[in-house]
Amino acid sequence: MEKLREAIQEKLEKVKKLEDLAKALKSGKELKGYLKTLSQEKGAPKNVDACKAQIAKLRERVQKEEMKMQAREDNKSVALGTSRINYMDPRITISWCKMKDVPIEKIFQSNLQAKFNWAMNNNPEWQF
């Protein structure tokens, strides 16, 4: 979690620097200090539009990482696979996978496929 927070913080700092660079490029003044070194980096934007595009991408990445971090935090106390393995009939899950063309490997790990081998030959229209 800490690494994810640090990554988010680094991206937010980069957004701030890019916003400063965009302002400087927009004003047309000569770049000085960290803005000059930032503009000379490989892949650095050369105009205001490129800065804005990079800022938008970084903000989108930050938002995705924040959502990912929130999901991890929310799911800490929940064993997501337990109900699927212990309480659901595997024939229901396998029938659904076949009906929706979802690979069974995405739902059941190889050890569970071996455990539920008896249910693998289920037809897609099977109902409980």
Q: What residues act catalytically?
A: 87
pLDDT of residue 72: 85
Residue 27 above 90 pLDDT? no
Q: Under a CB-based contact definition with an 8 Å cutoff, are residues 21 and 35 in contact?
A: yes
Q: Under a CB-based contact definition with an 8 Å cutoff, are residues 51 and 14 in contact?
A: no
pLDDT of residue 116: 87
CA distances from 9 to 13, 16, 29, 69, 75 (A): 6, 11, 29, 13, 23
pLDDT of residue 84: 65
Sign of CA dihedral 63, 65, 69, 71: positive
Write out the H or E segment, with its range, that includes residue 26.
helix 2-27
Structure confidence by residue, pLDDT tens digits, 63-83:
999 999 898 888 777 666 666
**Rounded mean pLDDT of the chain?**
84
Residue 94 above 90 pLDDT? no
